[in-house]
Amino acid sequence: MIANERQQRILEYLAERKNASVNELMDLLDVSDSTLRRDLLSLEKQGKCERVHGGVSAIAPVQAEDQSMNLRRTEFHLEKKEIGRRAIDQVEEGDLIYIDAGTTTEAMLLQLDIPGVGIVTNSINHAALAANKGYEVTLIGGRFKSITDAIVGEEALDFLDKYIFDAGFFGTNAISPDGDLLTPDLHEAAVKKKAMRQSQRVYVLADSSKLDKTSKIRFGDLQHAVLICNENPDLENALILQNQPEREKR
């Protein structure tokens, strides 16, 4: 793991736990004491954390940034799998659903096994997975952003105008304490926002590391979506029942 990847992992760990000891981070990253201290010194110089006796503290709020799909797949793997499993409970046979790019939505798609579902996505990876599972899948057109495997741009927004989705499933880089949904990229934010508007039911799939963080661009809020997270599943299920419209009988 290169220095930038290690430092991003440290920031994500601090976003979830606020504080960490040197020993915790050495175990997390599998690095030596000297390597870790260089990373912490670099982060402190950037104003992203504060070194304290025996460890480090977050400087809130932590800024969420884009990471590669391969790196994100290694993080919170079990939590994403459980979130994906619970998201599938919100899909009915015959639904037309939108699945946003991202590793948590990927975890949902890998477990999806409901007949007659139509899938629209802005992820090349997701489109291939869905097709291999035998689903009817549509990949929206536009410009390809390789680091996040997302199709973005004006063509993508125009493409989404054609659809009304029974449900949309979205990832997010950060969720502010006020419930704002945030991402660092303006173009991805525009596609997420448009797809949410075209979805009758909106679900945000996010592990707890995304909570109480910030990023540059707002694309929605939890007043107009249901959060599916690995924290407080009982409350989440109650909100789903309370806030979502009754589904039409098929």
pLDDT band of 231, cuts 50, 70, 90: confident
User: Residue 19: what pLDDT?
Assistant: 87
In this prediction, residue 247 has a pLDDT band, given cuts at 50, 70 and 90, of very low
Question: How buried is 221 (Cβ within 10 angstroms: 0-12 exposed, 13-18 middle, 19+ buried)?
Answer: middle
Say if pTM beats, i.e. exceeds, 0.85.
no
Rounded CA separation 244/224 (Å): 10
- Phi, psi values for residue 229, rounded to 5°: -135, 165
Beta strands in the chain (DSSP E): 19-21, 49-52, 55-58, 96-99, 118-121, 136-139, 143-145, 150-152, 167-170, 174-175, 180-183, 202-205, 217-221, 226-228
Per the CB < 8 A criterion, the answer to whether 166 and 246 are in contact is no
Q: Is residue 250's pLDDT more than 90?
A: no
pLDDT exceeds 50 at position 72: yes
Confidence (pLDDT) at 13:
85
For residue 241, the model assigns a pLDDT of 45
Average pLDDT over all residues of the chain: 86
Q: What is the DSSP string of 134-168?
A: T-EEEEPPSEEEGGGTEEESHHHHHHHTT--BSEE
pLDDT higher than threshold 90 for residue 73? no
Residue pLDDT, tens place only, 10-49: 888 887 778 889 998 999 999 999 999 999 998 888 777 8
Place 209 in a pLDDT band, splitting at 50, 70 and 90. confident
CB 117 within 8 A of CB 135: yes
